[in-house]
Structure formats: structure tokens, C-alpha cells
Chains A and B, each alone.
Chain A
């Protein structure tokens, strides 16, 4: 397969050169190494990422940054890094010549070079990604990022995002954060704290202590605020947390009601959520600017887990009005909605992809839980995972990867975070210090 990919590239080039002689050169002549993410098996593309050059004061940052780039790219399952001891030539200078024959000889399709400079608390990272076959820099894949040394991993993630984007044609997702619930203690007395981490599990910071139960946090579209459900007042209520100052406020507290399952609208100005009164749960919208509350559903059944479409015009939600939880879509102004889930079993926690093309969900059937995706009209349902308990998918900013909670069975059951591509490939656990649940992905950071 490796051989085949190379052959394909070579054939394409030969073909287009030939055509070029006869007529206008097709765009194919400039086609970079390309991975098309879709169904079918993809053999990882071999790449080489020599340790980034220290151009002054970088010290350990240089190797650490190229290490994170390798980890990001290999972590997608689409790339395979050729280890440095297999490299024939070394990159000793960022602007020096590259012996492309040496990189072709080890079958590397893409060569990524980089250099790091540190001055005081400022770090600068520049990189180039070459198409080894034609010796050209991939279009747009030669950039420079600067920030504080504290944010060195973000610089690496930004490099990875550009390269991933150029080669797959999809948006990046590495420079992002995930808010989640860090868990400890036995199953019947679980302690829960809000925490945030990089998408890959690094840089964990706690946002609350474990004095009260916290559930299902959600990032604002700008990543600056977090909504979650907290028992801090003694009763479940939605709390709005400012990520910068950690200031928090309880939203729309009404005596005798429970509010939960909040999510922001795409413009960040509205919160859609469930409000329970007298045992009946319906969906409401709260304007954060005016404080105005609008009831969106009105049924004696349970209506919960609302999620906006990315254009803000529709809301998908879960309802058990037929006796079994199913997924519905209604206008953002509310209404009865149209049922879109139709298979066997119970459906819940629908989440609209940021790209608008899919709705991810939790499905429970025949004693197993699944994370799945379906088109927004319910067609093309595809189950991506299966276990004792998988639930609560959250979309990566590019709408191509999902993260979710997996919990094991029994008295010693523990939660953990997992991610999977929407193709069902590349299922893997996200490393966390202890049990963790309810992940929610931030947008790509600015």
C-alpha cells in the first residue's frame, strides 16, 4: 500500500507532465500529498519530523515541540512517523538545503522541518512541510507562530493543525481544550470536579473543588465561558462559569425547579436547557442579554438534551413522548419537532456537528451502549462504538472526531474518556490522571 501510494503520486505527476505537453496543465500537477478521510482502510502516510532546530535559547523546547507535532499527527491514525534513527540525512539548519533523495529513500512522503527560538518568556516556532517527491513546500505550510513559553504546546498544536489541514483538506482540531468532569471515590459516593485539559489530555487545570456534584459542562462558542449543572445550591441548577476569572453565577434559579442539560446557541447569546417543574421536563431558552425565558416544548413527556444546529435555526433534542427516548429536530423557536431516529433501542444526547452534516448520539440497545452518527434527517445511521456504557459524544472543532465517556460495569466501574473518528476508526482512550467523564470540546483556540 505504501508502495502503491508512492506509485500513484509518481504516476499522477508523470501523467500530468505528459498532458502538460499536449495542452493546458491540469491542477493535478500541483496536487500535494493527500489523505481523503472517508470509508475504507487508510494506510498511514509515512512522514519524517526531524527534531526541530534550536535557533537560540530553545533548549528542550525544540525537541518537545517536534515531539508534540509527531504525537498529534500520529494520533489521528493517518500518519506514521519514521523514527529519527532511520533518517539518512540530518536537518542541521532550517534554511539550509534539503537532500530530498535521502527522504525519498526512506519512503517519507512529507518532511516537516522546524526551528524554535526562545527569548525571555517568548517562544517562536516556524516550520515547513515539504512534499518530498517534488521537493516543494506544501501550499501554505510554511508559517511562524509566537507566544509565551507557557503556551509551547499550543505552538506545536498549531503547526500540526496546519499540516493536518493541508493534507486532509479538513479543519484542524489539535489547538483546542476539553472541559470534563474529573472523578474520584467509590461508585455510590463519587466526587466530581470540573477540569479542563488540552485535547490530548495534557495541561489539566481544575475549575471547581469536589464539594458538590457537577455534571455535563459545555463550552461557549468563544471558549471563554462554560455552562454546567451543579448541586452547589443543594439542588441541580445550571451554572455559568467565566473561564478567565472563574467567577460563576447560577442561571434562572426558580424555587422548586431543576435546570440541567444546558448548551449555548452558536452566537453565544442564548442558553437552551431543560427545566423540570412538578416532575415534568421541557426545553427552554434563556437570553443571556435580556434574561428573557422562552418555553420551547410543552409536553407531559421528558424533553431534554437540546443542541443547536450550527446556523442556529434548529434544535435537536431527546424526548420519550412515544414511551422510548428518541431524537427529534424542531425550529429554534420551539414546537413539537420531527422525529429523526428510527432504529431499535433508545436514543439520547443528540449533538449537532459544528459542520452541520451529522448528529452524534448515544444509543442503548440490547444491553449495550453505542456512540453513533446519523444525517440530520436520521438517515445513514452508523454506530461507531459498543460497550457496557458509552455516552455523551462531543464534537472536535472540525466535526470529524468525537470524544465521549466510557464506563465499565460493576462495583469497581470507572469512567474514562475516549475518542473515535466518525468513520469508526481510531478508537482510543484519552490519558487522564484518574477517572473522567462528560467531555466537551472547545472550539479551535484563536
Chain B
């Protein structure tokens, strides 16, 4: 990574922390959960504008789901990720942090490692689709930030996820 690349990434990360933070942990966006829970979606742009973060989150799809203990990408997940890659190619001004999450079944340590594995699976797929590695970073939240709070498989299935969180900054 060049020095320039590094500083751009740093800006991207800072930008994310400042602007898009309310949408962390996948609380807003696709899947009918948008706007729920008093999440501030300002700054995400007009969802009808194909270059907005809101469009990416809701129309392209910012998250994919995993089977228990797995980090393998399902055919559905690959379809969504291919669309994410395409969007990122068309919108080079954005960087992304890929959040990996686990459900609450499992120990804290194991779930951190599992979340990292899931985030890396997404990162690797996006890189394989031609996205520059320096636009992507991963973070694992393990079981610390469930999206759904019930203790049933219906919730667990939605919590075993990887969410691609965009931030404007990389040359935008």
C-alpha cells in the first residue's frame, strides 16, 4: 500500500466514525429494518439515487447471512456480494468496513474469531471481484452487537451476518 493509499484509508475510517456510525452494527438499511429503533439515517443520501449509501444499503443489499459456525458464502450471498462489488467499482469514492457478526450461541472468544472469518470471506470475495484491497477493512463484533434480540433461530439467523458499511472519503 502506498503512503497516499494509507492516508486515504485513514480519512475513510475517520469519515466512517464521524458520519456513518449510527448505522453500524447493521441497525439500519435493508431487510425491512431501515429506520427502526430511532436510527439516524441522515447522511446516507437519497435511496433513489443509485450512488448514495442508502441505495447501496437498501437496493444493492449491505449484508449477507451465514449458517451456524460457517463462513462459507452461499449462492445468495455471492449474488449480493457481486452486486456490492459492481457498485463499489462504479463508485470509487467509497471505502468500506466489513463487519462480521455471530449469534449468541458460542463463547465470546470463539465468536470474535468466527466474526472475523466471516468478514474476511466477504473481503476476499470483493477483492476477487476487482475491488482494491486498500478500500476494504474488516472488523469482528463477535456476539457483541446482535441485530435481533430474541433467543430463537429466527433471530440467530439474522445475527450471523456480515455487513458492508460504506464511508465516503476515499477520493470522494
Contact = CB atoms under 8 A, between A and B. Distances in A.
Contact of A346 (B106, B119, B139): B106
Contacts of A304: 109-110, 112-113
A188 B110 contact: no
6 contacts: A215-B144, A258-B140, A261-B112, A274-B113, A304-B113, A349-B107
B140 A188 contact: no
Contacts of A431: none
Contact of A260 (B109, B147, B151): B109
Interface in A225-242: 229, 234-236
Contacts of A106: none
Given A215-B112, A274-B113, 9 more contacts: A188-B146, A189-B25, A213-B144, A216-B109, A236-B112, A325-B106, A325-B107, A407-B104, A413-B151
Contacts of B108: 215-216, 391-392, 438
B42 interface: no
B140 A325 contact: no
Given A235-B139, A362-B107, A392-B108, A276 B151 contact: no
Contacts of B150: 410-411
Nearest to B106: A364
Contacts of A216: 108-109
Nearest to B112: A260
A438 B141 CA distance: 16
Contacts of B8: none
A188 B155 CA distance: 12
A236 B139 contact: yes
B19 interface: no
B83 interface: no
A389 B108 CA distance: 11
Contacts of A188: 25, 27, 37, 145-149
A59 interface: no
Contacts of B110: 302, 304-305, 318, 320, 325, 348
A190 interface: yes
A413 B151 CA distance: 9
A40 interface: no
Contacts of B146: 187-188
User: Interface size class for chain A?
Assistant: 35 or more
Contacts of A190: 144
Given A188-B25, A215-B144, A409-B151, A348 B109 contact: yes
Interface of A: 186-190, 213, 215-216, 229, 234-236, 256, 258, 260-261, 274, 276, 278-281, 302, 304-305, 318, 320, 325, 346, 348-349, 362, 364, 388-389, 391-392, 407, 409-411, 413, 438
B120 A281 contact: no
Given A234-B13, A280-B117, A318 B147 contact: no
Contact of A261 (B109, B118, B120, B145): B109
B68 to A, nearest CB: 11
B102 to A, nearest CB: 11
Contacts of A391: 107-108
B11 interface: no
Contacts of B145: 188-189
A229 B148 CA distance: 24
Contacts of A349: 107, 109
A388 B107 contact: no
A276 B116 contact: yes
A236 B119 CA distance: 14
B17 interface: yes
A91 B69 CA distance: 63
B105 interface: yes
Nearest to A229: B112
A260 B117 CA distance: 14
A305 B107 contact: yes
A442 B78 CA distance: 47
Contacts of A407: 104
Contacts of B141: 213
